[in-house]
Amino acid sequence: MKNKSEAPAFILASASPRRLVLLEQLGVYPDKVIPASIDETPQKGELPRKLAERLAQEKALAVAKESSDSFVLAADTVVGCGRRILPKAETDKEARFCLKLLSGRRHKVFGGICFIQPDGKSISRVSETVVQFKHMSDRDVETYIASGEWQGKAGGYAIQGLAAGYIKFIGGSYSNVVGLSLYDTMKILDGKILGKKV
């Protein structure tokens, strides 16, 4: 266990188990996981990219406010189809709406990342990935709905599961679609968390 006098704690401000697993791929193990409780409602006229950036920043700030002597990493994933922001599907109806909208067309997944240091300095990035589903038949949609893996997922799907079988094209960071761009995260943490004994 790390002594607080040795180095600041590293906090992941996210309830997502996927982000924790992705961080572990970089050899980074947060000292604490503290989900941030904020209002994630899009502002009037807000575009998907801006929403991802703002939510990541607000999550990081909310946790950093209570843990000012720590490193804090927060992230948020937003799926956009044109200017439309897709919901984090909580019902069959929402998931079905998302899948039918995304069927046969390209959309973008925006991953906002915000890292706040103990001195208050912050770094923000937005990763953008283009994803295209094949044309999904009604049977495809209902098969995926029955899987249940869409629950709570932005855009109504989880790329690391059954949905991968419906994806025709992906351009950009795969890990961004899962929940955290490892490329951008490594660039942010290098020399701060990575490469140090944490």
Among this protein's residues, is 76 annotated catalytic? yes
**Whose CA is closest to 95, among 82, 108, 79, 111?**
79
- Interatomic CA distance for residues 171 and 111, integer angstroms: 14
Catalytic residue among 31, 39, 69, 76: 76
Contacts of 23 by beta carbon, 8 Å cutoff, 6+ apart: 12, 29, 30, 73, 180, 185
List 164's β-bridge partners, or say none.
none
Q: Is the dihedral of CA 60, 67, 14, 93 positive or negative?
A: negative
- Interatomic CA distance for residues 20 and 14, integer angstroms: 8
Q: Cite the active site residues.
A: 76
